[in-house]
Amino acid sequence: MELYSNHISRLIQSLSSLPGVGTKTAQRLAFHILSMPEEEVEKLSESIIDAKRNVKYCRECFTLTDDEVCPICGNPRRNHNVIMVVENSRDLAAYEKTGRFEGVYHVLHGAISPMLGIGPNDIKLKELMARVAAADIEEVIIATNSSLEGETTAMYIGKLLKPAGVKVSRIASGVPVGGDLEYIDEVTLLRALEGRTEL
């Protein structure tokens, strides 16, 4: 027997399809949305549609941005000769919160995972190699997660970049194995950055 009307059930089902949102959270969100004033609901739906239509990849680092070039890549005060490679834009934001990294980033949008059928061509590795080849890069810091996929990706990038004569380093193990960067505090991230090792 259906607990809710068709419209409520569809809303709950749509919300529960979001990552990290279970059925109970989806129900809570659905009832909260239904209790909101109509103008606020319209603003929420417009902002979702607006973001989906207007957010794109930065042409240099591939993070999500509204413009052709993100504010970090467009900042002349950043050190464009040091690139930190991260798995996603959330990891980039986590490092930016430390306020100590002055280089630029490269967002892979994933990690190599043969088990999931994700190979080197499925993430932004070709674009990283093109950036390194086109500029005078001093160092590439690999800051992928400490998971099996993250470690595999780090080793693969290290092997690709060694022949180019670029210094390649890996963030230190202040980051726990299996931990996602977006959930780690700034102090631990900073310690991992400062204790990085050359590959």
Do the strands 79-86 and 197-198 form a parallel or antiparallel pair, or are they unpaired?
unpaired
Say what percent of the chain tops pLDDT 90.
69
pLDDT for the residue 80 = 96
Q: Do 46 and 116 lie in a common domain?
A: no
Is residue 86 a contact partner of residue 64, using CB atoms and an 8 Å limit? no
16 contacts 22 by C-beta, under 8 angstroms: yes
% of the chain with per-residue pLDDT over 70: 92
Residues 95 and 173 in one domain: yes
**pLDDT reading at 196 higher than 80:** no
Based on the fold, state whether residues 19 and 91 are members of the same structural domain.
no
Banded pLDDT at 5 (limits 50, 70, 90):
confident
* Contact status, residue 60 vs residue 73, Cβ threshold 8 Å: yes
Determine the average pLDDT of the residues in 140-158: 90
96 touches 193 (CB < 8 A): no
Mean pLDDT of 99-111: 95
Give the domain range for residue 41.
Answer: 6-54
Burial of 168 (0-12, 13-18, 19+ CB in 10 A): buried
User: For residue 4, is pLDDT > 80?
Assistant: no
Domain check: are 46 and 129 in the same one? no
What's residue 151's pLDDT? 86
- Domain identity same for 32 and 79: no
